[in-house]
Amino acid sequence: MSNLSELLPTGGGQNAVDFVASGSLAAGIAVAINTNGTVSIVSAGNIGSLIGITAKAISDTATGTVNLFGGINEVQTGLTIGSDYYAQADGTITTTSTSPAIKVGQAISATTINMVDWT
Amino acid sequence: MSNLSELLPAGGGGKSVDFVASGTITSGKPVILNSAGTVTEVSGSSVLTGTVSDFLSANGAYSAAAYDTTNNQGLVIYRDNNAAIKGRIITVDSSNNITYGTETTIHTAANTLTTTAVYDSTHQRYVVMFKDGNGDGQALTLSPSGTGGSAAFTVGSATYFPVSASNDIRSTFLDSCFDPDTGQVIVAFADTGNSNHFYMSVGEVRTSPEDIQWGTAVAVDTNGACSSFSVTYDTTANKVLALWELDGTSGKAVVGTVTSGTIGSFGTVVNYTSNPYKPGSAYNVDNNCFLILFRNDAASMYLTAIGAKVDGSDNSVVFGTAVVVTSEYSESYPQGVTYSTAMDKFTAAYYLAAGYQYRNFSVSSAATPVVTLATAVTFPSTSDGVYANYYDPDEDAVVFTWRRVGGPWGAQAITPGSTNLSATTFIGISDAAISSAASGSVTIKGGISTNVTGLTANSTYYVQADGTLATTSSSVLAGKALSSTSINLDYTT
């Protein structure tokens, strides 16, 4: 190994992590972490536990990759370059910033969001 | 290995992304993200704000300003205590600080009203035009001399520019411009002796004796009562663009050609808006276009900007789409618009409930000009909305003169600065040099850029207007330096 990048997965560096899905998850939706370590689609009840965006579709109880805060999600569609995007209470990612939406990052292409760091 | 950054690839931390460059990008430089998805190196200049300096303690009114391109000095004139029109020469130094010359009385009378001033570079005289205490349209030439605190001027003899020397002119408002091609001054006014119709007069300065001789006033619009005049000279087409308001319901424009002692060959009169109040206008020789700023009394009295382009072949004018500058009531004072070749930007000041503001405007060179607004800057000092501006090309500064709220009249020179940088467009730092239109790698916000230079570890850096990284605070936080060559780019907000 010559540098850390060899340890990093593609698509978002060190902030792409595998989780078990609780419920079927589409690619590119906002997910929250549960107390048992699984992830579920964001809802009004768990948006405070928002952890990231799915990097691909994950079947219920299957393992799949989530791009965490600080990473890059590359599976969106129809983004407006330069706009800020927010996770909504139904798991969608839109430009609506009205509470309880939480900012997830900025579109750097029509399909890619540079995700804000975890604070 | 001395630190973790040595383990990271160039553009490390997994947040290195390829973009196509718009313009050449230097390695290790901050870049912005364009709406097309390309990136451009941050570039521009910073704001330089001089100190406020007062020229009148109180009780002023009806100011006007102009710039002397021969002696590199400006002029501010004002009514003092409703007893006289006075003026001072203004000198701006390289720090944008102001020195006033000797205050000199131009005209002694009460109840003078609307005022305008231009500099005639052919005859090297200022020409001051105003509604005098009798209501007449009077003009005086000023011959400047000296520099700095010793600068002064001598005043020539009065002449009158309306249809008849004894005709009153309407109070709302005068405007004037200088035609460097024929060496003549153009003044726009409403002649009260002729139903407040719109007239223009063309005059030429004489230096012996010292005065300005006017040709016969030319009727431009006899369809009703006219006001809110603006005249601007187009140095590419060698034409005058005139704007006015007719009967308080429509904003008119026409292009005319100046010849000896007169103006004519007018093109077709067009409506450019419904009800403009006191537009200000300036000409951009680089893009061959105008910026016009006016209070739109037909749309909630919001400040509105529109671009225009003149075709000298048939004296026609094309306007772009009007852009609302502020969705807020704008105070009822003239809009001061200037153009800076150095910045390739217009600058204008205006007064809102939120305070006195200025901002830069860009107008495209397209056949139908497009106006783009820069971010507004709240003026460093207070104002109650009465002001006049001019552009000093030698110091690349706009000199704003204004009445401070309830108190003295002052002036301040500001180089507005211009940059493509904003907190929303800053995307990261280039990992290597990228040729224009080529694809290259950028470490984006949230990553660790490892090919910058000259940083101090543990210091917080900000992106500056000119694209450098410095510890001087700006509106764009870059991040914290990890070493002299690496920086952890912040992306927490």
pLDDT tens, B267-308? 999 999 988 888 999 999 999 999 999 988 888 888 899 999
> Which of B6, B16, B33 would best serve as a mutation to test chain A binding (most A beta carbons within 10 A)?
B33
Answer yes or no: pTM beyond 0.90: no
Question: Residue B203 has which token pair?
Answer: 């005059």
**Residue numbers in B near A109 (CB within 8 A):** 37
> Which of A106, A109, A112, A118 would best serve as a mutation to test chain B binding (most B beta carbons within 10 A)?
A106
Q: What is the pLDDT of residue B3?
A: 41
A70–B contact, CB cutoff 8 A: yes
> Which of B431, B480, B482, B491 would best serve as a mutation to test chain A binding (most A beta carbons within 10 A)?
B491
Q: Which domain holds residue A98?
A: 4-115
| C-alpha to C-alpha distances, B203 to B222, B255, B259, B366, B472, nearest whole angstrom | 22, 18, 10, 34, 52
Indicate the average pLDDT of chain B.
91
Asked if A13 lies within 8 A of B447 by C-beta distance, the reply is yes
Distance CA A85, CA B483 (A): 32
CATH 2.130.10.10 fits B48-419, yes or no: yes
CB B226 within 8 A of CB B244: yes
pLDDT of B381 > 70? The answer is no
Cis-peptide, bond into residue B209, ω within 30° of zero: yes
For residue range B197-217, list pLDDT tens digits in order: 999 999 999 999 999 999 999
Q: What is the pLDDT of residue B11?
A: 38
A117–B contact, CB cutoff 8 A: yes
In chain B, ranges of CATH 2.130.10.10 domains: 48-419
pLDDT, mean of residues A69-82? 96
Asked if A116 lies within 8 A of B446 by C-beta distance, the reply is yes
A104 Rama class: left (phi>0) / alpha (psi -120 to 50) / beta: alpha
Percent of chain B with pLDDT over 70: 94
**Residue numbers in B near A119 (CB within 8 A):** 492-493
A76–B contact, CB cutoff 8 A: no
**Of A5, A112, A114, which is closest to B445 when you measure between CB atoms?**
A114
Longest alpha-carbon distance in chain B? 90
Q: Structural domain tally of chain A?
A: 1
pLDDT of A3 > 60? The answer is no
Question: Residue A95 has which token pair?
Answer: 């430009």
Asked if A4 lies within 8 A of B12 by C-beta distance, the reply is yes
ipTM: 0.82
The sign of the dihedral angle between the CA atoms of B88, B92, B93, B98 is: positive
| Cβ neighbours for B200, distance < 8 A, ≥ 6 positions apart | B186, B187, B188, B189, B217, B218, B220, B231, B240, B242, B256, B263
CB B214 within 8 A of CB B160: yes
